[in-house]
Amino acid sequence: PENSGYGGIFRDNLGNWLFRFAGYIGFSTILEAELWSIRAGLRLAIQHGFTMLVIETDSLNVVQLLQMTYTSFHPLEGLLAYRRGLLRQLHKFSIRHTERGQLLC
């Protein structure tokens, strides 16, 4: 654990940059920072009326955790459950693992 921040970008269906977001978390793990980033992105998507999303992350662990339906014994279950609740508000979404260098291109 260390001081952490998060961030992300929104693109349209053609890959054009729409807007970015960032924030400070404080003392957290890399996994927690990824989950906070997805939380912030999902909240922004819902606020802006986006109902179809492709969520890309360079954390394979986050992808696997968010695709699981039952994680009640995971220490981050509270964060995971909140994200799943936000995902249910979308019409269509996918979560996929992308190599870090490809996220910025």
Mind listing the pLDDT tens digit for each residue in 13-34?
A: 999 999 999 999 999 998 999 9
84 is a domain residue? yes
41 is a domain residue? yes
Q: Are strands 17-28 and 2-11 parallel, antiparallel or unpaired?
A: antiparallel
105 is a domain residue? no
Listed residue (67, 57, 37, 54) closest to 98, CA to CA? 57
CATH number of the domain encompassing residue 73: 3.30.420.10
What residue numbers bound the domain in which 35 lies? 2-97
Q: Give residue for tokens 């459950």.
A: 81
**Separation between Cα atoms, residue 37 and residue 34, nearest integer Å:** 5
Listed residue (37, 35, 93, 103) closest to 65, CA to CA? 35
Q: How many domains does the chain have?
A: 1
104 is a domain residue? no
87 is a domain residue? yes
Q: Comparing 30-34, 51-55, 74-78, which segment has the lowest mean pLDDT?
A: 74-78
Six-digit token string for 91: 């019409």
24 is a domain residue? yes
**Separation between Cα atoms, residue 31 and residue 60, nearest integer Å:** 10
Q: What is the pTM of this model?
A: 0.82
For residue 105, pLDDT beyond 60:
no
92 is a domain residue? yes
90 is a domain residue? yes
Q: What are phi and psi of 44, to 5 degrees?
A: -65, -40
pLDDT of residue 101: 67
For the chain, how far is it from start to end, CA to CA, in angstroms? 28
